[in-house]
């Protein structure tokens, strides 16, 4: 990162002082702040990965009410954990959180790691999350680097190298580590994240309200909107999928997805991807025959649901189907269940299914 020299000590000192003073006055009142409880901080950090604070806050409050301690979370059935996570997405976060809670409650008798290095060994915890928990809960001088902090750093120091390159990312970590103070490292890290979330925003940054404006090279040069430099995004692929609302004696057939992979552990209406040249009805008949061992008659369309994941988009076409023969057996699912519509609320579903279930 040749265009971002190490900042002099006076700049580092001024930045720390200004950000901590600003954070003391302007920090948002969030339910996990003001606490050094590592459990609450851990849950909040995992929940806010890939999730906006306004979306994640009510989930955090419900989750903590249901599982107020790591022992409560460890003892809970996975289905209940996923149900409370339902709609938040990136369900591997919930499964890893649950698995890690079992390890902390059992193998460690409820004792949490107290260093970033220790947290890196916890399932689902990477370098950023480890630094956030260790600095906020235990006062360790550990850095954080997420999208907000990257944006703040590349603007403050006018970093022109692509922020997506591995070498630039390593240098940004080194810069973040240099800036963290020995005293109040957790507050400083939260101030950096808060600044990026509320002031140094991706579009239309509020430079007039920024406590670090006088230190910001990108602002002085008028190039805030050009930082950070990112790679051009590749086109997002699109898939066509079908799902079957198979009704028998007033019940619908649901399948539980395997624990690993996309949407692991969630329940769904059975279905799959439409192959090249296939009709929707033909695809459904093939999928249900091959994956469930049953024959159906495909009826009317219930709905077509558009949904976006991190790496692709999908349109799911849901059809009413009549069971024509064969006893369904799980091949791609871990479990199948005939379920009354009034019982749907007991299961955790992907968002695309949640949009169509009320129509049944």
Q: Would you name the residues annotated as active-site residues? A: 45
DSSP symbol at 311 = S
C-alpha span between 193 and 62 (Å, rounded): 24
Burial of 25 (0-12, 13-18, 19+ CB in 10 A): exposed
Contacts of residue 170, Cβ cutoff 8 Å, sequence gap at least 6: none
3-class state of residue 73 by DSSP = helix
Distances (CA, A) of 105 to 39, 54, 70, 98, 100: 11, 30, 6, 10, 9
Q: How far apart are CA 96 and CA 82, in angstroms?
A: 11
Grouping H, G, I as helix, E, B as strand and the rest as coil, residue 21 is helix
């Amino acid at each position: 990162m040749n265009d971002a020299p190490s900042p002099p000590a006076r700049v580092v000192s001024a930045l720390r002082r200004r950000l901590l003073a600003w954070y003391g006055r302007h920090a948002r009142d969030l339910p996990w702040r003001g606490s050094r409880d590592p459990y609450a901080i851990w849950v909040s950090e995992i929940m806010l990965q890939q999730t906006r604070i306004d979306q994640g806050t009510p989930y955090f409050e419900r989750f903590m009410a249901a599982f107020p301690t790591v022992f409560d979370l460890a003892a809970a059935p996975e289905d209940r954990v996923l149900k409370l996570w339902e709609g938040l997405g990136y369900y591997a976060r919930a499964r890893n959180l649950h698995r890690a809670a079992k390890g902390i409650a059992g193998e460690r008798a409820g004792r949490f790691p107290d260093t970033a290095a220790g947290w890196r060994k916890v399932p689902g915890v990477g370098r950023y999350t480890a630094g956030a928990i260790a600095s906020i809960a235990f006062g360790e001088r550990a850095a954080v680097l997420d999208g907000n902090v990257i944006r703040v750093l590349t603007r403050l120091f006018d970093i022109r190298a692509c922020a997506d390159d591995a070498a630039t990312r390593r240098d940004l970590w080194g810069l973040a580590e240099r800036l963290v103070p020995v005293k109040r490292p957790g507050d400083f890290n939260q101030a950096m994240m808060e600044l990026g979330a509320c002031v140094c925003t991706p579009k239309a940054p509020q430079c007039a309200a920024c406590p670090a404006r006088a230190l910001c090279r990108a602002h002085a040069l008028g190039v805030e909107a050009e930082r950070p430099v990112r790679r051009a995004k590749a086109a997002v692929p699109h898939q066509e999928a079908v799902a079957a609302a198979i009704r028998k004696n007033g019940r619908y057939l649901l399948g539980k997805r395997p624990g690993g992979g996309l949407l692991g552990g969630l329940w769904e209406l059975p279905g799959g991807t439409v192959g090249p040249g296939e009709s929707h009805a033909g695809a459904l008949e093939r999928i249900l025959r091959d994956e469930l061992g049953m024959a159906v008659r495909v009826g009317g369309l219930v709905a077509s649901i558009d949904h976006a994941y991190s790496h692709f988009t999908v349109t799911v076409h849901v059809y009413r189907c009549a069971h024509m023969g064969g006893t369904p057996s799980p091949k791609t699912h871990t479990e199948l269940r005939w379920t009354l519509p009034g019982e749907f609320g007991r299961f955790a579903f992907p968002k695309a299914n949640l949009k169509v279930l009320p129509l049944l």
